[in-house]
Copies of this chain bind each other. A is one copy, B any other.
Amino acid sequence: MDSSKSVRGETSIKIPESNSGKHKSIGAAKVGASVGGGGWQRGVSIFDFILRVCALAAALGATAAMGTTNQRLPFFTQFSQFQASYNDLPAFTFFVVANAITSGYLVLSLPFSIVAIVRPHAAALKLLLLIFDTLMVAFTTAGAAAAAAIVYLAHNGNSNTNWLAICQQFNNFCQRVSGAVVASFIAALILIFLVVLSATALRSH
């Protein structure tokens, strides 16, 4: 009993010497699992926060670009309406809703990301962010892919189904919509990277 106690005492003295005095050492097992991991975990959390802000910017940009697009034509065509906006096509409406929800989630997740920076060993928090990030990956990708399919059709048309390209008439509309789709795919890519980053951080806990 005495010899084991002396060994424990030696370990707790050694910790401040090895430049890892920042994280609290509760037990010998915990210290063994996370030696040198505190700084790395914090770095990953800071990177996570920065990426989250970038994804928010991309998702907000996509929502705004699609939501405010509204082209009124100066001349008469065969269309009954002379105006093109996102709510003419259900896929574009879904795109706006999906990107708005992703933006909202990303805003709400920022405080949690800050908590993860302050407390690098909060594994449950990282797991929660990872789960919701994965859901948002699927959601954002679905919105972007649905809109991309319709934008492709608007640009090129389809002779097999007699669907004509409308981008000759609504050129400005098509360009803004294409930009919004690209921004949404960028947001989805950043979210995928966030999931991978969180998983790597969880593995080293």
- A binding-site residues for B, Cβ under 8 Å: 3-4, 7, 27-29, 32-33, 78-81, 84, 88-91, 123-124, 126-127, 130-131, 134-135, 137-138, 141-150, 152-154, 158-164, 166, 188, 192, 195-196, 198-200, 202-203, 205
Contact = CB atoms under 8 A, between A and B. Distances in A.
Interface on chain A toward B: helix, strand, loop, or mixed SS?
helix
- The complex is assembled from copies of this chain, and their number is 2
A161 B202 contact: no
A127 B203 contact: yes
B162 A78 contact: yes
A148 B143 CA distance: 11
B88 A160 contact: yes
A9 B129 CA distance: 41
Contacts of A141: 137-138, 141-142, 145
Among A32, A142, A161, chain B packs the most CB atoms within 10 A around the CB of: A161
